[in-house]
Amino acid sequence: MKPNDSIFALSSGQLPSGVAIIRISGTDLLNTLKLENDNTKNYSLFDFTPEPRNSHLLRIYHPKTDELIDHGLVLYFPAPHSFTGEDCLELHVHGGKAVVAKLLDALSQIKDWRMAEAGEFSRRAFENGRLDLTEIEGLADLIASETETQRKLALNQSMGNLRKLYEGWRERLIHSRAMIEAELDFADEDDVPDTASDQIWSQLQLLNEEIDRHLGDERRGEILRDGFRVALIGAPNAGKSSLLNALAQRDVAIVTSEAGTTRDIVEVKLDISGVPIVISDTAGIRETQGIVEQEGIKRSFNAAKEADLVLLLDSKDAPLPEINLEISKNRQLLLHSKNDLEQSQDDVHISISSKTGSGLDLLIKEITDRVDQIAHFAEAPLITRARHRENLHKCIEALEQALETRELPIELIAENLRQAADAIGRITGRVDVEDLLDVIFSEFCVGK
């Protein structure tokens, strides 16, 4: 990959389509396209000089054969006022497979022009200072969003609200560190008081509390982004697969009277209150000698540990086994799963029948109530990725160490504040993130 190459790719959806958009980004694009000794056209692709940020209906030609490929809209965005910060062209042509293939071949004939790699447009936007890493990740989430809440969360992040929060914290840490180092490096100067560092402690304590509250969000951002996970746990034939099918309103899992039909995790995605819900049907829990079934049961316990809500199914013919899921009680909900065949037990929270639909409305309301407690945070800056949370923990660890050791030499305190600021800087991409870039931009498709 040559960083100075101009890149191009199909940036719109799957072909065929009504319109296809080809995006081009590079340096001095229009001069590259000029033909020095051609009296018929100003440019090798089209016969009119596109004006910045204006839409032109132009004929588009092959640069080598002069063959007419198509006619469509051409938009030109000169650097630095473009998505990537470089010169950008967009060609809006008819979305036929042959049209796009011919046009991509034509672009590849131009010197130092090549097909873009996955996420390369966004990576150039980051490297040219147009977007930070949180905005890039928000953009990826916006493209992948499937529910209304995911859209709101991703839009909020892509517009820089998370960046503003983190950069504000980082600037406060840098200021506090500057106060410390001013006392350290310029102690002999008359305009630097001996107690300059004393002014920062109340500010650092306040910042520590703000970051701690941000981390105590009960993973709302990750849940809204990845989905509220519900695991169905119970003995074989407790009605887990039937409940999954009833909630999905289609046959997702195999339902038979034979015990142990489900050996692996079967998942279905639903949209409740604009939040993605991932419901997992799991293997029935029982004593067994079968190696495959043992592995399925192990995965059942893992699914329960990772779930935001565990539905424990119990019935007379398939009673709930005594198990320790090692999760809090508020993440568990006990169900009587076959109330069309038998009476509900007294200590059961909700009684349902997947066959008749009895009680399902109560169950869905219970799930909805839990989801609604999370959904209304969608427009607030929330932690959406594990790497954000990891670096924030590193930040607060270094910050707390500075607060707890304020009696130590100020050189050590300054170093703790540097580590705290750098940890936040890694979230936005301000420091030491080269090893993360390939992972982050690989989430994008080619053309974005």
Residue 342 reports pLDDT greater than 80: no
Q: Supply the pLDDT for residue 183.
A: 66
Contact partners, residue 250, CB within 8 Å, separation at least 6? none
Overall average pLDDT of the 94-106 stretch: 96
Overall average pLDDT of the 348-376 stretch: 88
Residue 444 reports pLDDT greater than 70: no
Q: Supply the pLDDT for residue 185.
A: 57
Do residues 237 and 255 touch, judged by C-beta distance below 8 A? no
Q: Supply the pLDDT for residue 443.
A: 61
Give percent above pLDDT 70 in the chain: 86
Beta bridge partners of 310: 231, 332
Q: Supply the pLDDT for residue 420.
A: 96
Q: Do domains 6-116 and 135-217+383-441 have the same CATH topology?
A: no
Q: Supply the pLDDT for residue 362.
A: 92
pLDDT tens digits, 218-259: 899 999 999 999 999 999 988 898 999 999 888 876 555 555
Residue 315 reports pLDDT greater than 90: no
Q: What are the backbone angles phi and psi of residue 37, rounded to the nearest 5°?
A: -120, 45
Please choose, from the candidates 233, 289, 234, 243, the residue with its C-alpha nearest in 3D space to the C-alpha of residue 268.
Answer: 243
Q: Supply the pLDDT for residue 3.
A: 63
The correct answer on CATH 3.30.1360.120 for the domain covering 6-116 is yes
Mean of the per-residue pLDDT values of the chain: 86
Please choose, from the candidates 446, 429, 427, 383, the residue with its C-alpha nearest in 3D space to the C-alpha of residue 122.
Answer: 446
CB atoms inside a 10 Å sphere around CB 248:
15
Overall average pLDDT of the 389-393 stretch: 97
Q: Supply the pLDDT for residue 36.
A: 37
Residue 435's pLDDT band, with cuts at 50, 70 and 90, is low
Q: Supply the pLDDT for residue 135.
A: 97
Please choose, from the candidates 239, 439, 228, 259, the residue with its C-alpha nearest in 3D space to the C-alpha of residue 350.
Answer: 239
Task: For the domain covering 223-375, report its CATH number.
Answer: 3.40.50.300
Residue 343 reports pLDDT greater than 70: no
Please give the residue that has the higher pLDDT: either 186 or 87.
Answer: 87
Please give the CATH topology (third level) of the domain spanning 135-217+383-441: Four Helix Bundle (Hemerythrin (Met), subunit A) (1.20.120)
User: What are the extents of the domains in the chain?
Assistant: 6-116, 135-217+383-441, 223-375
Residue 52 reports pLDDT greater than 70: yes
Please choose, from the candidates 259, 181, 216, 218, the residue with its C-alpha nearest in 3D space to the C-alpha of residue 418.
Answer: 181
Residue 63's pLDDT band, with cuts at 50, 70 and 90, is confident
Buried b (16+ CB within 10 A) or exposed e, 333-343: bbbbbbbeeee
Residue 6's pLDDT band, with cuts at 50, 70 and 90, is very high
pLDDT tens digits, 258-301: 555 556 788 999 998 888 999 999 988 888 878 888 888 899 99
Please give the residue that has the higher pLDDT: either 190 or 250.
Answer: 250
Q: What global pTM score does this model have?
A: 0.84
Overall average pLDDT of the 179-185 stretch: 70
Q: Give the pairing of strands 332-336 and 350-351.
A: parallel
pLDDT tens digits, 15-48: 999 999 999 999 999 988 875 335 455 567 888 8
Tokens describing residue 357: 């639909």
Q: Supply the pLDDT for residue 37.
A: 37
